[in-house]
Amino acid sequence: EHIREVARNHRMTPIIPRKSNSRKPNVDFDDYLYRLRHLVENALARLKHFRGIATRFEKLARNYKSMLFLACLFIWCKAK
């Protein structure tokens, strides 16, 4: 509950589902935003499989962006 309050104090919308055995209901829970959050978390998890991305091997921002673009392209091509 503390994390939800901190997020609200910083003008964020907490998309944290409660446990299934919780007595408190999911009052502010938005199912659509949760699906989007899930997609973002999955994309970041896939990107972490690339060692150069996970360890920030490239120190220059332009090189890191290029590696990030290539990793995203590789993931996209693999999904098709």
Per-residue pLDDT of the chain (80 residues; tens, 9 = 90+): 798 899 889 999 888 888 888 888 877 778 898 899 899 999 999 999 999 888 888 889 999 999 999 999 999 999 87
If one counts the domains in the chain, the total is 1
Q: Is the dihedral of CA 22, 28, 32, 37 positive or negative?
A: negative
- pTM score, whole prediction: 0.65
The Cα 67–Cα 64 span in angstroms is 5
- Residue ranges making up the domain that contains 59: 2-79
The Cα 44–Cα 80 span in angstroms is 18
